[in-house]
Homo-oligomer: A and B are copies of this chain.
Amino acid sequence: MQNRITTLFGIQYPIIQAGMIWCSGWELASAVSNAGGLGIIGAGSMYPEVLREHIQKVKRATHRPFAVNIPLLYPNIDQHIATVIEERVPIVFTSAGNPSTWTKTLQNEGILVVHVVSNEKFAKKAEDSGVDAIVAEGFEAGGHNGREETTTMVLVPQICNAVKIPVIAAGGVGTGRSMLAAIALGADGVQIGSRFVVSEESSAHPNFKKAILEAGDGNTKLSLKQLTPVRLLKNKFWEEVEQAEKNGASVEELKSLLGRARAKKGMFEGDLEDGELEIGQISGYINAIKPAADIIVEIVLEYTKALQSLKEL
């Protein structure tokens, strides 16, 4: 496999592991990069010194390209930016914020910049700000999500028509077949989150991994739409949010219900009742914990087989 994304990043397969809070540290990122994909450290849940430690560890664990995902609304954003520059991180994925603020700063240091969007307008804005590629993330994706609720099937062709730079499809992708579908829609690569949350190298709590394996069809929901929409696994905390919204809770009340460190409590500490469990719709059909390298091999094999059967149609 060779296309604009493999060439841009210098990787073997156009498979990017999403940078996810509490789940994707140096172990997962280096495992994915060593297996020929692009591993990403999720900096959104890390203090600056923790991020630096993870970057240093990933550099020792792989000689292949890797990336760091930085949510642009992160409170210590200046420190995170300084850290990725000092540590000579080759690629940065930015999300949740204005891509024009930091893109040039990073690129001037020789860092490739990719921005995550969920609608056409922000895709064009990201391209105008000079980013090297875009992640188009659909409604079915886990975690924070767009207000338009546009699904991957609709969003990817729309964004591919709207921009000239490479597009990476995210949301609902976790198998070779869905990767092939994303490429058929015009994407140059895929970003996979949920499937890697249940990899062996993910730092998600074992309780959270187990809950994902047990989840079925319809077990996630886009929630907290009055704050920032976020796709969650349904649990007691999610039910409390639903109930509060039904009772007409204000933004302030919802913020207070959400409180602090809910995601850490759920995803990292394994509190399945009171924690916030961010995961995508494909959790409905993930049913095994595997090493990241096995997941990549499986995806590539299924992709190749599905492409072969398409040709025979």
Contacts and interface: CB of A to CB of B under 8 A. Distances in A.
Interface of A: 1-3, 119-121, 138-140, 146-155, 157-158, 161, 171-173, 175, 177-178, 180-186, 216-218, 221-222, 246, 248, 281-282, 284-285, 306-307, 310-311, 313
B157 A178 contact: yes
Given A158-B284, A307-B310, A311-B307, A150 B217 contact: yes
Nearest to A119: B217
B181 A154 contact: no
Nearest to A307: B310
A173 B153 contact: yes
Given A182-B181, A184-B177, A310-B183, A153 B150 contact: no
A194 to B, nearest CB: 10
16 contacts: A138-B153, A140-B151, A148-B217, A151-B153, A153-B181, A154-B172, A154-B282, A154-B284, A157-B285, A158-B284, A158-B285, A177-B185, A177-B186, A180-B310, A181-B182, A184-B306
Given A121-B217, A217-B119, A218-B119, A313 B3 contact: yes
Contacts of A186: 177
Contact of A151 (B2, B121, B139, B148): B139
Contacts of A182: 181
A221 B157 CA distance: 19
Contacts of A140: 139, 150-151, 153-154
Contacts of A147: 218
A257 B175 CA distance: 43
B152 A184 contact: no
Nearest to A311: B311
Given A154-B285, A248-B248, 8 more contacts: A139-B151, A147-B218, A151-B151, A152-B153, A157-B175, A177-B186, A307-B311, A310-B310
